[in-house]
């Protein structure tokens, strides 16, 4: 091959290095069929050698495809949604898409409708919605944006294209772990009422307990924050005597641990604690927290795989649900009489 040009490479340079016509280079870049594999490989090698970047605006005019997708997320600051957003962006880039994002401070029917309209004006080919609130799913159920839309997390039964971790199973396995240790009085700190994930985790907790022939323990309402977990933990100490608590996310579990420490209740000897998400800090707390790990990387990859197939009009036969993983650490043990911390 010839030496790379000194100026920013253009399509003609690629054609010259690959020994093909300008039209052939264009057909390779645009993914057109009926091109010999050897020719395609020469063109791709020339593109790599020259560092050529296709003019996406010009390509869009020719193909009528923008190679752009939209991402709708919420400004929660929470570990789970933020992790999913990053992995969706990474997977989109690896699949050859540009990603434009809209982040919502509040999730309402109007804000979601406006976000979809904004992205459609950017000529996106598809949309990924990372919003597990009931309002988000109501919008999808009653509105056709005209492009494929993949819902990530939430109630996956309410969307045509959806990907997420099996929240019910994760909660069931977390609770079953406590039951297997011998706990029969298991409290739950749930997430906000408007979040479908919080409801799925509550249902998993209750189902495991009832399947074991017991009555669910006390239920406390949180808002995903450590402070709400702390307040729930204080209620738990004052009002009930469970030997274990399943907390719907790790941030609230941190608050529960703080409340228990203030009350002089040892974990896990006095009460066992299980969280959800496997946030990075949970491994390094004292005690380290038993939790449910969500594979956010796989969520992002699968969301883009499903969206890409939908954009192409293909049926990507991928499972909607991704299995969670129970991570057992030091915050759970068999029930003991409560021991005050020294």
Average pLDDT value for residue range 4-10: 64
Specify the pLDDT at position 227.
98
Residue 289 and residue 299 in one domain:
no
Q: What CA–CA distance (Å, rounded) separates 256 from 234?
A: 8
Note whether residue 104 is domain-resident: yes
Q: What CA–CA distance (Å, rounded) separates 69 from 91?
A: 11
Q: Identify the H or E element spanning 240.
A: none
pLDDT band at 31 (very low <50, low <70, confident <90, very high): low
Residue 215 and residue 267 in one domain:
yes
Residue 248 and residue 137 in one domain:
no
Please say if the pLDDT value at position 96 is more than 80.
Answer: yes
Average pLDDT value for residue range 296-317: 84
pLDDT band at 61 (very low <50, low <70, confident <90, very high): very low
At 137-159, the pLDDT tens digits run: 777 767 778 899 898 876 666 67
Note whether residue 199 is domain-resident: yes
Residue 181 and residue 279 in one domain:
yes
3-class SS at 342? coil
Phi–psi pair at 325, nearest 5 degrees: -135, 125
Specify the pLDDT at position 25.
81
The structure tokens listed for 22 are: 């300008």
Average pLDDT value for residue range 113-118: 89
Residue 270 and residue 185 in one domain:
yes
Look at phi and psi of residue 221 and say left if phi exceeds 0, alpha if psi is from -120 to 50, else beta: beta
Q: Who wins on pLDDT, 47 or 140?
A: 47
Residue 75 and residue 153 in one domain:
yes
The bridge status of strand 325-327 relative to strand 291-293 is antiparallel
Residue 201 and residue 117 in one domain:
no
Structural domain including 254 reads 167-293
- Per DSSP, the residues of 31-66 read T-SS--HHHHHHHHHHHHHHT----HHHHHHHHS--
What CATH number is given to the structural domain containing 39?
A: 1.10.260.40
- Which among 20, 41, 63 is the end of a domain? 63
**325: which strand partners?**
293
Beta strand segments in 191-342, E: 219-221, 244-247, 272-274, 291-293, 321-322, 325-327
**HEC profile for 114-162?**
HHHHHHHHCCCCEEEEECCEHHHHHHHHHCCCCCCEEEECCCHHHCCEE
User: 109-121 vs 134-142: helix axis angle to the nearest 10?
Assistant: 60
CB 282 within 8 A of CB 247: no
Between CA 173 and CA 211, with CA 245 as vertex, the angle to 5 degrees is 45
Residue 172 and residue 289 in one domain:
yes
Residue 172 and residue 157 in one domain:
no
Q: What CA–CA distance (Å, rounded) separates 152 from 132?
A: 7
Note whether residue 258 is domain-resident: yes
The count of structural domains within the chain is 3
Note whether residue 301 is domain-resident: yes
What CATH number is given to the structural domain containing 251?
A: 3.40.50.2300
Specify the pLDDT at position 326.
98
Specify the pLDDT at position 189.
98
Note whether residue 331 is domain-resident: no
At 238-264, the pLDDT tens digits run: 987 899 999 999 999 999 999 999 999
Note whether residue 46 is domain-resident: yes
Specify the pLDDT at position 137.
73
Note whether residue 330 is domain-resident: no
Residue 172 and residue 284 in one domain:
yes
At 180-236, the pLDDT tens digits run: 999 999 999 999 998 889 999 999 999 999 999 999 989 999 999 999 999 999 999
Residue 35 and residue 86 in one domain:
no
Note whether residue 340 is domain-resident: no
CB 86 within 8 A of CB 150: no
Q: Would you give the DSSP letter of residue 76?
A: -
Lowest mean pLDDT, pick from 24-33, 82-91, 148-157, 190-199? 24-33
Residue 155 and residue 41 in one domain:
no
């Amino acid at each position: 091959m010839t030496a790379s040009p000194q100026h920013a490479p253009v399509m003609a340079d690629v054609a010259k290095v690959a020994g093909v016509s300008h039209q052939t280079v264009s057909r390779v870049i645009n993914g057109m069929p009926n091109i010999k594999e050897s020719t395609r490989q020469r063109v791709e090698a020339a593109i790599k050698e020259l560092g050529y970047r296709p003019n996406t605006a010009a390509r869009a005019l020719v193909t009528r495809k923008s190679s752009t997708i939209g991402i709708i997320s919420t400004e929660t600051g929470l570990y789970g949604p933020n992790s999913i957003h990053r992995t969706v962006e990474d997977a989109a880039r690896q699949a050859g898409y540009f990603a434009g994002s809209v982040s919502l401070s509040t999730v309402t029917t109007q804000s979601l409708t406006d976000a979809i309209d904004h992205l459609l004006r950017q000529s996106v080919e598809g949309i990924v919605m990372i919003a597990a609130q009931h309002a988000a799913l109501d919008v999808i159920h009653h509105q056709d944006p005209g492009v494929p839309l993949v819902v990530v997390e939430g109630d996956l039964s309410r969307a045509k294209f959806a990907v997420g971790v099996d929240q019910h199973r994760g909660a069931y396995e977390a609770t079953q772990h406590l039951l297997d240790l011998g706990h029969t009085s298991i409290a739950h700190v749930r997430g906000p009422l408007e979040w479908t994930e919080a409801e799925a985790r509550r249902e998993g907790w209750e189902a495991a307990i009832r399947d074991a022939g017991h009555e669910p323990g006390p239920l406390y309402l949180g808002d995903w924050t450590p402070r709400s977990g702390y307040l729930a933990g204080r209620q738990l100490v004052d009002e009930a005597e469970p030997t274990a608590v399943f907390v719907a996310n790790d941030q609230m579990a941190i608050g529960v641990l703080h409340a228990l420490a203030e009350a002089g209740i040892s974990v896990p000897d006095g009460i066992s604690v299980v969280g959800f998400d496997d946030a990075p800090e949970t491994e390094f707390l004292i005690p380290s927290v038993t939790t449910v790990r969500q594979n956010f990387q796989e969520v992002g990859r699968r969301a883009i795989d499903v969206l890409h197939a939908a954009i192409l009009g293909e049926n990507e036969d991928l499972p909607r649900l991704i299995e969670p993983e129970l991570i057992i650490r030091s915050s759970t043990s068999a029930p003991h009489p409560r021991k005050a911390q020294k």
